[in-house]
């Protein structure tokens, strides 16, 4: 299959590109390189461009017949979305609308979309399945939920087939060590823990130790980035047999506190990891853990990395020797 990967130079997108190449498909990457890295794309062709540029999109679809699109482009920082909501709606909703219009004009009718656990807001259940109410508490989550609604409308009006995958906490790196997570600034827990192990960064802070959890720190469901990539490929196959706009939650179904992640990283790295306790970070729910039963049943998805130590091990390989 010839697949357009929007945002294929980013963290999750670049792992997707590698997975498509290894599975015999032909990915083409569209990325504006605002947060992505040219080096992350590897052997796939890279078109440097932006979803806000309608003319460039039309040209891209006119020049190549794509079988499907996988869409990772987004601004994705919760705190920044609260401070700059227009930028988030403009890019995440407006940019996606441009992409959908261009797909429709070119007759491309299959899309896999990166959604997020942030569509749920403050969870009302210990295990979040797809029936759980969606009530985002920040513009980032609201922008992703808006696109999910647009996709449902697009199916009804135009017959677009789509799968929205709601990631919980993407983590780890390809075991080759060739590609990995490289954000500027880095806000995510595991990269910050590993930087602290290496004596890099501004010093690890644990945000909040008074939550109603086992040790008072927040619980998250960490899922390996290559397992996420595998789910996207299965979603492409799923759309062959299924019309409609579908949503799936993707996580391991097991939660770890921030302190448990630090302890797991200590075992992997063999070094004591310095940290200090800090006040809660605004907008952090106490516990976010996925039920991925629907993805397991419908897509046949079975994450290969269920052990937090194994996930951190792959991230450690990358952070010790990042290529970009």
Catalytic residue positions, numbered: 140
- From residue 153 to residue 172, the character string flagging contacts with ligand UFG as x (rule: CB under 6 A) and all else as - is ----------------x---
270 CB neighbour count, 10 Å cutoff: 7
- The CB-of-135 to ligand UFG minimum distance in angstroms stands at 12
> Which residue lies nearer to ligand UFG by CB, 90 or 284?
284
Residue nearest to ligand UFG (CB): 218
DSSP assignment of 158-213 equals H--EEEEEEESEEE---TTSSS----SS---HHHHHHHHHTT-SS-EEEE-S-SSS
Q: How far is CA 77 from each of CA 27, 51, 64, 183, 239, rounded to the nearest angstrom?
A: 26, 18, 32, 11, 30
Q: Read off the tokens for 247.
A: 């949503």
- Binds ligand UFG by CB under 6 A, chosen from 142, 165, 258, 287: 258
Name the E strands within 83-140.
Answer: 110-116
Task: Count the residues of the shown chain that bind ligand UFG, applying the rule CB under 6 A.
Answer: 21
Stretch that binds ligand UFG, among 2-10, 16-24, 183-191, 304-312 (CB under 6 A): 183-191
Q: Which of residues 2-41 bind ligand UFG (CB under 6 A)?
A: none
- CA distance linking residue 321 with residue 5, whole number of Å: 26
> Which residue lies nearer to ligand UFG by CB, 91 or 169?
169
Judge contact between 108 and 164, C-beta under 8 A. no
Using the rule CB under 6 A, is 60 a contact of ligand UFG?
no
- From residue 199 to residue 228, the character string flagging contacts with ligand UFG as x (rule: CB under 6 A) and all else as - is -----xxxx----------x-x--------
Judge contact between 299 and 234, C-beta under 8 A. yes
- Binds ligand UFG by CB under 6 A, chosen from 76, 114, 115, 213: 76
- Binds ligand UFG by CB under 6 A, chosen from 189, 229, 247, 312: 189
The helix (H) or strand (E) run that includes residue 238 is helix 225-241
- CA distance linking residue 34 with residue 287, whole number of Å: 31
Q: Measuring CA to CA, which residue among 250, 276, 259, 167 is closest to residue 213?
A: 259
Q: Taken in order 1, 227, 154, 61, is the CA torsion positive or negative? A: negative
> Which residue lies nearer to ligand UFG by CB, 176 or 187?
187
Using the rule CB under 6 A, is 118 a contact of ligand UFG?
yes
- Binds ligand UFG by CB under 6 A, chosen from 54, 87, 284, 298: 284
> Which residue lies nearer to ligand UFG by CB, 116 or 291?
116
> Which residue ranges make up the site for ligand UFG (CB under 6 A)?
76, 78, 116-118, 140, 169, 187-189, 192, 204-207, 218, 220, 258, 281, 284, 288
């Amino acid at each position: 299959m010839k697949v357009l990967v929007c945002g294929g130079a980013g963290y999750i997108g670049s792992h997707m590109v590698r997975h498509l190449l290894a599975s015999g498909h032909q990915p083409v990457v569209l990325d504006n390189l605002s947060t992505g890295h040219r080096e992350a794309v590897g052997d796939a062709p890279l078109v440097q461009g932006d979803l806000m540029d309608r003319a460039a999109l039309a040209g891209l679809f006119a020049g190549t017949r794509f079988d499907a699109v996988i869409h990772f482009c987004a601004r994705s920082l919760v705190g920044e979305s609260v401070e700059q909501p227009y930028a988030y709606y403009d890019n995440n909703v407006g940019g996606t609308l441009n992409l959908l219009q261009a797909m429709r004009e070119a007759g491309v009718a299959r899309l896999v979309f990166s959604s997020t656990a942030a569509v749920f807001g403050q969870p009302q259940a210990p295990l979040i399945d797809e029936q759980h109410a969606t009530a985002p508490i920040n513009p980032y989550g609201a922008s992703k939920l808006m696109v999910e609604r647009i996709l449902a409308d697009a199916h009804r009006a135009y017959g677009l087939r789509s799968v929205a995958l709601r990631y919980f906490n993407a983590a780890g790196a390809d075991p080759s060590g060739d590609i990995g997570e490289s954000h500027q600034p880095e806000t995510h827990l595991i990269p910050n823990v590993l930087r602290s192990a290496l004596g890099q960064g501004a010093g690890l802070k644990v945000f909040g130790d008074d939550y109603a959890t086992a040790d008072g720190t927040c619980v998250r469901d960490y899922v390996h980035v290559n397992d996420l990539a595998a789910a996207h490929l299965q979603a492409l196959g799923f759309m062959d047999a299924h019309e409609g706009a579908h949503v799936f939650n993707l996580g391991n179904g097991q939660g770890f506190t921030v302190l448990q992640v630090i302890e797991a990283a200590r075992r992997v790295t063999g070094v004591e990891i310095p940290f200090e306790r800090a006040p809660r970070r605004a907008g952090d729910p106490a516990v976010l853990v996925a039920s991925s039963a629907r993805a397991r049943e419908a897509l046949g998805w079975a994450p290969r990395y269920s052990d937090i130590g194994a996930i951190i091990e792959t991230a450690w390989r990358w952070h010790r020797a990042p290529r970009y």
